[in-house]
Amino acid sequence: MSSLRARVFAETARLVPQAAVLPFARPAAVFFHGVERQIDDPVLQNNHHERDAFAAMMRELRARFDVLPLSALDDVLKDPQKHARAVFLMSDDGYANLLDAADILEELQLPWTLFVSTRHIGSAERNPMFRARLFLRYAPIGDYVLPHVGRVEFLTRERGAEETRVVAVLKTLTAERAHAVLDAMDAVLTDAGLGELASLFPSDGFLSWAEVKGLGRRGVAIGAHGHWHWPMNAQQARHHLVEQAALPKRLIEAEIGACAAFAYPFGNVDDVSRDAWHAVRDAGYTCAFTTLSGTLDASINRFLLPRHALGKRNDGLAAEIAMLRAGNRRLQRWQEGMR
């Protein structure tokens, strides 16, 4: 679901009486990224929920739905009517602040799955889109020429339109070209004396392997979210897609144990190709999740399962999840075209 569609959907859900739509709920998967005690920059920290709001959301989820471990997925898919209020809770990327989220979820006895981008675990390398947004927000006023992107012009500090354009272009690039662009962006900030900006936003730092292993010992299921956090779209070479699927599985199994589930980075219709889900299937996973909204019982391909991003606000959450079946037709059309 695009960000605009998601906002419209969430706003609509807040207007609907929850009691009226809960009987229509079907099994679903929902996800979040990180949890921060304080949000200082909503754009750069857009992957993170504020801690107290997240805790309230999780209490609502526990009260209204049956939050199940991912190991129950097969049973739910075999008999979705029996598990109409089943919800699978997930987190993507592997941010260090998930240790705080883990305490909240453990206290509420909510099972969850963590999908990690293995290149970033135990590394100082930030999420590529975080790096891009640092440049787009903080590069000094001026003109820049970026490889594979072209001219980027910053006339003022108001850069919303240019940021949207550059991010859209960036996501269409191969991983190799995207690395070149991001390195050029980093160089601009370094030359301007802004190379330490990332340290102002520790929320986007990643877990260590020891910390991921510790979460596994606490009962968190660990899945793969690609190796480098980049779209697995039709622009990517076949060998890159194979590596994105197979390498994280090997690394996770060497460090922690069995890794059966995969979640596509970004995960929308333009971020996942036919070759990508084939690579995931062939790597030996048993299921994989997109970020298309819908309910699990509507899926015709267990390697292109729907998953809904949790919004930042708690009001209307139960109605929002119960209404996810509204996305099923779009989900099924897309899956049919990906055969």
Model pLDDT for residues 238-248, shown as the tens digit of each residue: 999 999 999 99
The predicted model scores a pTM of 0.95
Domain parsing of the chain, residue ranges = 3-124+206-337, 128-200
Which is it for the CA torsion 199, 203, 208, 210, positive or negative? positive
Q: Selecting from 3.20.20.370, 3.40.220.10, 3.30.420.40, 3.20.20.60, what CATH number does the domain 3-124+206-337 have?
A: 3.20.20.370
Question: Given this model, what pLDDT does residue 11 score?
Answer: 62
- Looking at residue 253, what is its pLDDT? 98
pLDDT of residue 5: 59
pLDDT of residue 225: 98
Amino acid in the structure at residue 103: D
Q: What angle (nearest 5°) sits at the alpha carbon of residue 1, between those of residues 198 and 160?
A: 45
Determine the pLDDT at residue 8: 58
The per-residue pLDDT for 322 is 93
Residue pair 117/205 in contact (Cβ under 8 Å)? The answer is: no
The pLDDT assigned to 13 comes to 61
Residues of the chain short of pLDDT 50, as ranges, are 1
